[in-house]
Amino acid sequence: MRLLTDLCEVDGALTRRAASRIPPGVGKVLSAVEETAESSKLWCGAAAVMAWKGGWRGRRAAAAGMGALTVAQLVSNGLCKQLADRPRPPAEWIPHDEVADRPDSSSFPSGHTAAAVAFTAAVAPTWPVAGALCAVPAALVAVERVQSGAHYPSDVAVGAAIGLAGAWLTRRVPALFLRHWP
């Protein structure tokens, strides 16, 4: 039980620090990237460009990315948020006006981060350059979720783990299925 208490204290301290230490100009960039990623618009756009301009590799990367994103969203938003009713960080911890623009759903886990990491991690093995390019906004989304007061760092970490698991499943399950199909 002490470990959980310590984790909550560290989570709170990191949240307060992230919310107060990001310069306002950087906060605006983070918000713009997060707004673009809202409802997976950024990742759908990236997948469309990959499929359009990337030939067979682009289509394969886009399909893997969108498949992983779907799995991650189902797990994070469809399952975990329904089971965990964790409140968002307290508004008084966040010294800027972005705290007013956060959702009412459970804080745990970060669905934005799960989607961003899932898409990026699924794209990277097929098209490493595209994966590296996607990693930049994915990291910015993760930082923004804590900086804006929408999530605790542990929410973002678990969201990232769900994203990685979604990418792994998307890449491995078809091969396992085909191997064991009679």
pLDDT > 70? residue 140: yes
Burial class, 72, CB count within 10 angstroms (exposed 0-12 / middle 13-18 / buried 19+): buried
Phi, psi torsion values for 24, nearest 5 degrees: -55, -40
**Maximum mean pLDDT: which of 15-19, 96-100, 145-149:** 145-149
Give the whole-angstrom CA distance, residue 30 versus residue 18. 12
pLDDT per residue as tens digits for the range 163-175: 999 999 998 877 6
Give the whole-angstrom CA distance, residue 23 versus residue 42. 24
pLDDT > 80? residue 129: yes
Provide CB contacts within 8 A for 29, sequence distance 6+. 140
User: Own/partner pairs for 88-94, CB < 8 Å, 24+ apart?
Assistant: 88/149, 88/150, 88/151, 89/12, 89/15, 89/19, 89/149, 89/150, 89/151, 89/152, 91/149, 93/12, 93/15, 93/16, 93/19, 93/149, 94/19, 94/148, 94/149
Sign of the dihedral through C-alpha 145, 146, 149, 153: positive
pLDDT > 70? residue 112: yes
Higher per-residue pLDDT: 2 or 10: 10
